[in-house]
Amino acid sequence: MLDELPVTSKFLAETSSKSQSVSGPNRYYEMLYLIGLGLSSVEDITVRGLKVVQKCARVYLEAYTSILMAASKEDLESFYGKEVILADRELVESSSGAILEGADKVDVAFLVVGDPFGATTHTDLAIRARSLGIPFEAIHNASVMNAVGACGLQLYNFGQTVSLVFFMDNWKPDSFYDRIKENRKIGLHTLVLLDIKVKEQSFENMARGRMIYEPPRYMNIETAASQLLEIEDIRNEKVYTADTPCVSVSRLGSSAQKFVAATLGELAEIESGEPLHSLVILGHRIHEMEIEYLLDFATSKAKFQQAVEAELDTAKAMQPPTQVEEDED
Ligand SMILES: C[S@@+](CC[C@H](N)C(=O)[O-])C[C@H]1O[C@@H](n2cnc3c(N)ncnc32)[C@H](O)[C@@H]1O
C-alpha cells in the first residue's frame, strides 16, 4: 500500500479543493475532525478519513487510551506523508486549547485508535469545540466495541462494558463488580476492557518533581482474570467464580489476533502474550450458535462445554417456578 501512496496522494489532491469538499455535501468551512483509525494497520483508516487527514493543517494522534496493533506513529507519518503530533492525556484533557486553536481557520484532525466514540469517548473535546463555535465532524471506524463480535458472541447479547484498572496494594477499585452482577442477572455477556498505563511517573519521581516516566504497561489476560477473582473473593456474592466460562480477546483486528475460550480460573494461568487484550464474561442467555463458534477456541472443548452447561443449569435453577393455574379445568 505504501508503494501506492503517490497515486493516492494524486487522487486526494484532485478531490480536496473547497468546491469538492471531502467533509460532506455543501461543506466549505474549516473544522475539527475526529477520525477513527480502526484497530490495527495504517491502512485501516477509511478512504474518507485518509482524504481528510491529507488536507488537514495539523494532525494529532490520541496516544493514551489505545494503540494500533500493527503501526507506530512513524508508520502513520510515512503513510500520510505528514507530521503527526502525539496528544497525551494532559494535552487532551487539560490543554485542549492547543488542539482546537485556529480549528475554525484551518482543518485539524484528531486521530483516535478504534472509533472516536468507542469505549472512552472524546465527547469532551467535541463539547469544547462546540462551545468555541468550532464545527466538528466524526469519521467512524471499527472499534473494540463491535469487532469483539469476531469471537462468535453476538453483539446484541452484550450488557454494560466495564473497565478494569491495575490494582495497587491499597487501591483496588471494584465498581465493575456491580455492573457485571447486573449483566449476569439478565444473562448478558460483559466486555471487560483492560487498563493501559502510559506516561506514568513513579511516586519517587513525582515527589521529586522529575519528569521521568515509567515504561508503558498494558494489562494482560492473566492479571485481569486474577484481579476479577480477587474481588469475587472479597465481595463473595458469587457473581462469577473460577468456573465461569469466558473468552480472552487478544490483538483484535491484527494478523496475531487470538481468542481463548476457557474458564476464568484457567485464564488466570495462561500466557496471553503481546497487548492489547480484552476479556468477555459469558452470560446465560448465550445462543447455541455462539457456543458452537466458541468451541473452536476452547483450550478443552469438553471442559468448556461443561462450564457453559453448568452456567445454564445455574440460571435455570434461579428462575422462579412457573405458575400453575389450579382451577383451569
Ligand atoms: C479505552 S478502550 C479504547 C477503545 C477505542 N477507542 C476503540 O474504539 O476501540 C482501550 C481498551 O480496549 C481494548 N482494546 C482496544 N483495542 C484492542 C484490540 N485490538 N484487541 C484487544 N483489545 C483491545 C483493550 O482492553 C484496551 O485497553
Per-residue model confidence as pLDDT tens digits over 126-150: 899 999 999 999 999 999 999 999 9
Distance 114 CA to ligand 1 centre (A): 7
Which among 104, 230, 209 is positioned nearest to 164, based on CA atoms?
A: 230
Which ranges of the chain have pLDDT less than 70? Answer: 1-28, 320-329
The whole-number pLDDT of residue 181 equals: 98
The whole-number pLDDT of residue 90 equals: 84
Ligand 1 pocket by C-beta < 6 Å: which residues?
Answer: 39, 65-66, 69, 112-115, 118-120, 143-145, 193-194, 196, 249, 251-253, 276-278
Q: In angstroms, how far is the first alpha carbon of the chain from the final one?
A: 75
The whole-number pLDDT of residue 163 equals: 97
Q: Average per-residue pLDDT in the chain?
A: 89
The whole-number pLDDT of residue 58 equals: 96
294 Cβ contact list (under 8 Å, min separation 6): 151, 152, 153, 247, 259, 261, 304
Amino acid at 39: L
d(CA 158, CA 284): 11
The whole-number pLDDT of residue 277 equals: 98
Which among 174, 293, 295, 300 is positioned nearest to 239, based on CA atoms?
A: 174
d(CA 7, CA 54): 13
The whole-number pLDDT of residue 7 equals: 37
150-177 pLDDT, tens digit each: 999 999 999 999 999 999 999 999 999 9
The whole-number pLDDT of residue 28 equals: 57
d(CA 246, CA 226): 13
- Site to probe by mutation for ligand 1, drawn from 45, 62, 66, 68 as the one with most ligand atoms within 8 Å of Cβ, is 66
The whole-number pLDDT of residue 201 equals: 80
The whole-number pLDDT of residue 329 equals: 47
Amino acid at 53: V
Residue 134 CA from chain centroid, whole number: 27
> Beta 162-164 vs 190-194: how paired, if at all?
parallel
- Whether this prediction's pTM lies above 0.85 is answered by yes
Residue ranges in the chain assigned as alpha helix (H): 5-15, 47-55, 73-80, 89-93, 96-100, 123-131, 144-147, 175-185, 203-207, 221-235, 264-267, 288-295, 301-318
Output the known binding site for S-adenosyl-L-methionine. Answer: 39, 115, 118, 143-144, 194, 252, 277
d(CA 199, CA 213): 5
The whole-number pLDDT of residue 199 equals: 79
* Cβ count within 10 A of residue 322: 5
Distance 316 CA to ligand 1 centre (A): 34
